Amino acid sequence: MIVTLIIDKTPWSSTCINPEWEKFCPLAELERIPNEVYGVFTRAAKPSQTEDSTCLIIGTPPYDIYVEENNNGVWKRRVTSHVFVNSSIESFIYFLNVFADSYPYYSDDDDSEFIQLKAKEIAETLKPVDPPAFSRADYFWPMLLEDFVSYAEFSTEFLKAEYGVDGIDG
């Protein structure tokens, strides 16, 4: 039986990593970006630079995540704007791992108070590592945790039905 975990840490193939991308972030960090955290992030098959070459796109739609030059922040592209995600690739990877390690989150049978406590627990673990990521309610992580509470898209039942997630990353 194949058990699908909430996080897939399969690395990019070595042919995907281009030495010129060092201007965005250390290549060793780029190589550590998880392939997927279900419901949060899906990595691009291969990173690519934006048309103006100032950003490196690392996520696929709807997770259009990119890194600014000099590891100057991780952002999510929207139609006409962008949303701050993390201060660096290192903190982005850390946040993805902590979020995944917090699974299982809750069951469809859990009440809203329990779900809110779980979201608060995750936020309290993440905030001290990269405070700017939580400095505004309209940033990526606060909005994700708001959705976490509001839409039940992170219940064990939903994640199993939608993505086949059965286990935890151990």
pLDDT digits (tens, 9 = 90+) for 15-68: 888 898 999 999 999 999 999 999 999 999 999 998 888 899 999 987 789 999
pLDDT tens track for 100-123: 999 999 999 999 999 999 999 999
With contact defined as beta carbons under 8 Å apart, do 66 and 75 qualify?
yes
Domain housing 16 = 7-163
Answer whether residue 26 is part of any domain: yes
Answer whether residue 75 is part of any domain: yes
* All residues at 6 or more sequence positions from 108 whose CB lies less than 8 Å from its CB, including other chains: 152, 155, 156, 157, 158
Total domains in the chain come to 1
Answer whether residue 169 is part of any domain: no
Answer whether residue 63 is part of any domain: yes
Encode 140-166 in three state secondary structure: HHHHHHHHHHHCCCCEHHHHHHHHCEC
Answer whether residue 168 is part of any domain: no
Answer whether residue 65 is part of any domain: yes
3-state class percentages of the chain: helix first, strand second, coil last, to nearest 5:
40, 20, 40
**What confidence category does residue 90 fall into, taking pLDDT thresholds of 50, 70 and 90?**
very high
User: Scanning the structure block, which residue is given the tokens 């897939």?
Assistant: 8
Answer whether residue 102 is part of any domain: yes
Answer whether residue 64 is part of any domain: yes
Q: pTM for the complete prediction? A: 0.92
